[in-house]
């Protein structure tokens, strides 16, 4: 039987130029989650000012240390391989 896990804390890392799109997506995600009886609190927003891999690295580390999230949504504006590779590595490390 499937049991629902509660997400008490989660984070969203995104570039500042995508802020409005991210806010709309988070709202839609919360509405969809509520229909599945999953309560999503307001996420810890970590807005970054540029598209550099180092900025994503710092934001991810900061999110983990600040709110100990069960879920991290990383929004990227393109498919740069170096950044994708780092995010993929970060998900498998225990910070």
CATH 1.20.1090.10 matches 10-92: no
Whether the per-residue pLDDT at 10 is higher than 90: the answer is yes
Using a cut of 0.85, tell me whether the model's pTM lies above it.
Answer: no
Quick one: CA dihedral 3, 12, 59, 57, positive or negative?
A: positive
Average pLDDT of the segment spanning 34-40: 88
Domain edges within the chain? 10-92
Whether the per-residue pLDDT at 9 is higher than 60: the answer is yes
Classify each residue of 7-24 as buried b or exposed e, where b means 16 or more C-beta atoms within 10 Å of its C-beta.
Answer: eeebbbbbbeeeeeebee
Average pLDDT of the segment spanning 44-62: 90
Calculate the average pLDDT of the chain: 86
Whether the per-residue pLDDT at 94 is higher than 60: the answer is no
């Amino acid at each position: 039987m499937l049991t629902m896990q509660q997400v008490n804390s989660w984070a969203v890392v995104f570039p500042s130029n995508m802020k409005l799109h991210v806010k709309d997506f988070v709202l839609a995600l919360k509405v969809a989650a509520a229909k599945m009886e999953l309560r999503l609190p307001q996420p810890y927003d970590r807005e970054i000012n540029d598209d550099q891999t180092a900025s994503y690295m710092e934001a991810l580390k900061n999110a983990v240390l600040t709110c100990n999230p069960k879920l991290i949504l990383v929004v990227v504006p393109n498919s740069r391989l170096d950044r994708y590779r780092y995010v993929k590595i970060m998900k498998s490390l225990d910070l």
